[in-house]
């Protein structure tokens, strides 16, 4: 039997890798895409086929986590075996500017989707994209037993979703799990997160197209892993015998200065000559250090990452250099649309 997966946030970094992973395993994949005035599917365009082809297994549907009735209809129509809730207002700094919107999407949106699943297909397995930001001010190493201390509207919203997911597991017996993922990056990472901002800048400066980049706090420590490896961990959580919550992390802490060393070092530059400070990138409350302990995921799920923050810095700069060489447009990462594209169906 072909398994059917529903992914919210399929157009994001993780959604694109997860869709790729599931399609390669024979799944029928249903992605929820929010309506935008410009194309927002560039991360998954390479996976798309003619929707009229009976062999097509990737189906996209308009939907938004703010619209509970639409989510209920989609779940009822699709009848998924597995639901991956990856959609979110996912930027921590932006969550201080838009706390109410962040709560509506990143917190209440999860409740809307969980309720839609509970009503129509409570036997579906549900993955919630929880975050190491839940730990916030609690010092590392952090694992599944570490107390939460959220330090941003984003983290507070994710905390609500974490407990709603557990509540649906404990209260209704649903197979609903939290993946507590530490930062994970890739060449598909959004351009406003610090790793991609740095690797794009290093590549553009090396190519002579830019001279400097503005950053905020360089003292933070993060445990950066590779997104392509983390989506397999998400899938493994839903294949487990029992529903449970898991940390995914590399266990290696890297400061932003160290990430800059490797990124700029990859193109033979010294970042100190090119990085300027802008207080706009500071946060009212900062998360100083996140370093995860993923022992439980290794022991129970057999999941083990192979790329850490330093490896990622090199990999991402090389990808950004290649993008500049081939596209010639370092700040615009567009992929040509397939000729059959119909703007009315995302």
Instruction: Report the residue number, 169 or 196, with the smaller CB distance to ligand NAP.
Output: 196
Q: Which stretch binds ligand F7E (CB under 6 A): 29-37, 278-286, 319-327, 334-342?
A: 278-286
Contact flag: residue 131 with ligand NAP (CB under 6 A): yes
Contact flag: residue 93 with ligand NAP (CB under 6 A): no
Catalytic residue among 131, 132, 152, 161: 131
Q: Which stretch binds ligand F7E (CB under 6 A): 44-52, 71-79, 87-95, 261-269?
A: 87-95
CA distances (Å), 218 to each of 255, 279, 309, in order?
7, 11, 15
Tell me how far, at minimum, the Cβ of 54 lies from ligand NAP, in Å: 27
How far is 253 from 223, CA to CA, in rounded Å? 5
How far is 171 from 328, CA to CA, in rounded Å? 54
How many CB atoms are located within 10 Å of the residue 230 CB? 25
Contact flag: residue 307 with ligand NAP (CB under 6 A): no
Tell me how far, at minimum, the Cβ of 236 lies from ligand F7E, in Å: 19
> What are phi and psi for residue 105, nearest 5 degrees?
-90, -50
Active site residue 154: yes
Token duo for residue 229: 């490896």
The answer to whether the beta carbons of residues 59 and 19 sit under 8 Å apart is: no
Active site residue 133: yes
* Pairing, β 254-255 against β 221-222: antiparallel
Tell me how far, at minimum, the Cβ of 276 lies from ligand NAP, in Å: 25
Contact flag: residue 14 with ligand NAP (CB under 6 A): yes
Token duo for residue 271: 């970042």
Catalytic residue among 133, 162, 185, 229: 133
Q: What is the DSSP string of 221-250?
A: EE--EEHHHHHHHHHHHHHSSS---EEE--
Q: Which stretch binds ligand NAP (CB under 6 A): 58-66, 170-178, 199-207, 323-331?
A: 58-66
3-state secondary structure string across 62-79: ECCCCCHHHHHHHHHHHC
Q: Tell which one of 183, 199, 250, 266 touches ligand NAP (CB under 6 A).
A: 183
Q: What is the DSSP string of 24-41?
A: HTT-EEEEEE---SS---
Contact flag: residue 142 with ligand F7E (CB under 6 A): no
Contact flag: residue 190 with ligand NAP (CB under 6 A): yes
Token duo for residue 80: 């998924």
Q: Tell which one of 88, 155, 291, 313 touches ligand NAP (CB under 6 A).
A: 88
Tell me how far, at minimum, the Cβ of 91 lies from ligand F7E, in Å: 6
How far is 158 from 156, CA to CA, in rounded Å? 5
Contact flag: residue 133 with ligand F7E (CB under 6 A): yes
> What are phi and psi for residue 118, nearest 5 degrees?
-60, -40
Tell me how far, at minimum, the Cβ of 155 lies from ligand NAP, in Å: 10
The answer to whether the beta carbons of residues 210 and 148 sit under 8 Å apart is: no
Output the CA angle 273-275-279, nearest 5 degrees. 145
Instruction: Report the residue number, 36 or 335, with the smaller CB distance to ligand NAP.
Output: 36
Contact flag: residue 129 with ligand NAP (CB under 6 A): yes
Instruction: Report the residue number, 89 or 120, with the smaller CB distance to ligand F7E.
Output: 89
Catalytic residue among 17, 154, 162, 230: 154
Active site residue 127: no
How far is 275 from 214, CA to CA, in rounded Å? 6
Token duo for residue 42: 């560039």
Site of interaction with ligand F7E (CB under 6 A): 90, 92-93, 131-133, 183, 192-194, 197, 215-217, 220, 222, 256, 281, 283, 286
Residues with a known catalytic role: 131, 133, 154
Site of interaction with ligand NAP (CB under 6 A): 8-9, 11-15, 34, 36, 40, 64-66, 86-90, 105, 129, 131, 181, 183-184, 190
């Amino acid at each position: 039997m072909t398994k059917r997966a529903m992914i919210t946030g399929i157009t994001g970094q993780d959604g694109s890798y997860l869709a790729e992973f599931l399609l390669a395993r024979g799944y029928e994949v249903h992605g929820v895409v929010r309506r935008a005035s410009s194309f927002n599917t560039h991360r998954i365009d390479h996976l798309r086929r003619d929707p009229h082809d009976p062999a097509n297994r990737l189906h996209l549907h308009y939907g938004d986590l703010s619209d509970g009735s639409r989510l209920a209809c989609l779940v009822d129509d699709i009848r998924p075996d597995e639901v991956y809730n990856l959609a979110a207002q996912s930027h921590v700094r932006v969550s201080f500017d838009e706390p109410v919107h962040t709560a509506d999407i990143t917190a209440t949106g999860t409740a809307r989707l969980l309720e839609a699943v509970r009503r129509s297909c409570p036997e579906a397995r549900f993955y919630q994209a929880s975050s190491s930001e839940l730990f916030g001010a609690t010092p590392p190493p952090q694992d599944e037993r570490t107390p939460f201390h959220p330090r941003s509207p984003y983290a507070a919203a994710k905390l609500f979703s974490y407990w709603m997911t557990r509540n649906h597991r404990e209260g209704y017996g649903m197979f609903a799990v939290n993946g507590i993922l530490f930062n994970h990056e890739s060449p598909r990472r959004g351009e406003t997160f610090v790793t991609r901002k740095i690797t794009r800048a290093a590549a553009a400066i090396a190519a002579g197209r830019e001279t400097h980049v503005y950053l905020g706090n360089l003292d933070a420590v993060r445990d950066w892993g590779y997104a392509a490896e983390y989506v397999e961990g998400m899938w493994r959580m839903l294949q487990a015998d029992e529903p449970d919550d898991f940390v995914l992390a590399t266990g290696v802490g890297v400061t932003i200065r160290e990430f800059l060393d490797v990124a700029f070092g990859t193109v033979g530059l010294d970042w100190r000559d090119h990085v300027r400070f802008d207080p706009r990138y500071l946060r009212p409350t900062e998360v100083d250090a996140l370093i995860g302990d993923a022992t439980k995921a290794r022991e129970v799920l057999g999941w083990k990452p192979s790329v850490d923050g330093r490896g990622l810095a090199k990999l991402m700069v090389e990808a950004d250099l290649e993008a500049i060489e081939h596209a010639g447009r370092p700040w615009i990462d567009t992929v040509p649309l397939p000729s059959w594209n119909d703007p009315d169906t995302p």
